[in-house]
Amino acid sequence: MIYIENINAFAHIQDLGRFGYRDFGIGHAGAMDALALQAGNILLHNEENTPAIEITLGGLSITFDCSTPFCLTGALCEATLDDMPVYSYWRYTAKAGQRLTINAITHGNYAYLCVAGGFLVPKVLNSYSTDLKAAFGGYQGRLLKAGDHIPTAKRDQTLSSIGIEPISFTNHIYVVASSEFDVFTEESQQRFSQQGWKLATNSNRMGYRFNGEQPLKLKNALEMLSYAAPMGTIQVPPDGQPIILMADTQTTGGYPKFGCIIQADLGRLAQNPFGSEIYFQLISRQQALEIYQKNQNYLNHIRRIIDETR
């Protein structure tokens, strides 16, 4: 079990998300950086979908009640275990009574605290993820707060310390065209990849908003029925400034969709700081699959390292 002593961060329990319920109006939720969550779980010999704590915009201090292997992945953190520095993408074992303090996130937006076996929270609709809008899943369907006691699945376990290569950060993000791509002017299709797009500071887990000098324009006015809109969809409202739907997005949308962020880059997009400039590049679906395979190769490399340390 862990005890949250202090917290000034936006923190909640997430796994890889809730699948198969969008037709009932229930969103995906899940980690904003799925690859980082998977990497942390593999480092601890967990299943990839094991729930962890996603931490944003601040820090926290927790105490362990027993020997517990843990790691931090995703955004890079300034952290200590008692007085010992803790580095992201390294595995440690906390002893009973030791305090983990995350003072700040120094690079990126979303950090993941993974523990051996994961956190023991109820599974709701086949997922442990917190749906903050509907207030279910995770730990009591809400953000974590000081005084919370969160049980862990494994007690009094010890693993040796080992580190893995961190996931790289980038502001160059790959996109595949969507079914409404051709309703946009040729100039907009070209400018989308030629200009930088500033990530707005009012972006959040529902959607990342962007501002560009040259808004995207339609060839003709278009009225549409709402349609399924998964994470990564690039919607374009009437002002021409795109919105990219993220983990807590609604299940449908009615704006024309320009394209979709490739699955392999969703986490990399999520980790870009608000106010930064992002550059998009259109690629083919085959290229998207090849990049996805590179992510899988990264996870397989971690598995090989971990297997060698058993």
Say if 44 falls within a structural domain: yes
- Global pTM? 0.96
Contact between residue 117 and residue 50 where contact means Cβ atoms under 8 Å apart: yes
CA distance 44 to 115: 7
Residue 229 lies in a domain: yes
Find the CATH number of the domain harbouring 200.
2.40.100.10
Q: State how beta strands 60-64 and 2-7 pair.
A: antiparallel
**78-94 residue pLDDT tens:** 999 999 999 999 999 99
b (16+ CB within 10 A) / e for 156-171: ebebeebebebbeeeb
State how many domains the chain has. 2
Give Cβ neighbours of residue 286 (< 8 Å, ≥ 6 apart).
none
pLDDT, tens digit, 9 for 90 and up, residues 104-133? 999 999 999 999 999 999 999 999 999 999
Same domain, 121 and 138: yes
Whether 27 and 136 share a structural domain: yes
Do 90 and 136 share a structural domain?
yes
CA separation for the pair 7, 16 (Å, rounded) = 24
Residue 80's pLDDT is 98
Q: Using the predicted structure, report yes or no on whether residue 69 has a pLDDT greater than 90.
A: yes
Instruction: With CA atoms as reference, report the closest residue to 56 among 135, 143, 150.
Output: 143
Provide the β-strand partners of residue 114. Answer: 71
CB 63 within 8 A of CB 3: yes
Domain boundary among 117, 137, 163: 163
Tokens representing residue 72 in the block: 């931090």
- Would you say residue 224 lies in a domain? yes
Identify the domain containing residue 198 by its residue range: 172-293
In a domain, 303, yes or no: no
Helix or strand or coil: residue 301? helix
Same domain for 145 and 223, yes or no, is no
Can you tell me the mean pLDDT for 286-307?
A: 96
Q: How far apart are CA 13 and CA 281, in angstroms?
A: 32
Across-strand partners of 291?
none
List pLDDT tens digits, range 8-23: 999 999 999 999 999 8
Same domain, 126 and 225: no
The pLDDT tens digits of the residues spanning 224-277 come to 778 888 999 999 999 999 999 999 998 888 899 999 999 999 999 999 999 999
Comparison of pLDDT for 222 and 29, the residue scoring more: 29
Question: Could you give the percent of the chain with pLDDT greater than 70?
Answer: 100
Structure tokens at 34: 């799925």
Q: Is the pLDDT of residue 142 over 70?
A: yes
CA atoms within 13 A on the CB side of 143: 12
Q: Are residues 223 and 289 in the same domain?
A: yes
Percent of all residues in the chain with a pLDDT value above 90, rounded to a whole number: 89
On the question of pLDDT at 310 being above 70, the answer is no
| Same domain assignment for residues 192 and 245 | yes
For residue 273, the 8-state DSSP code is P
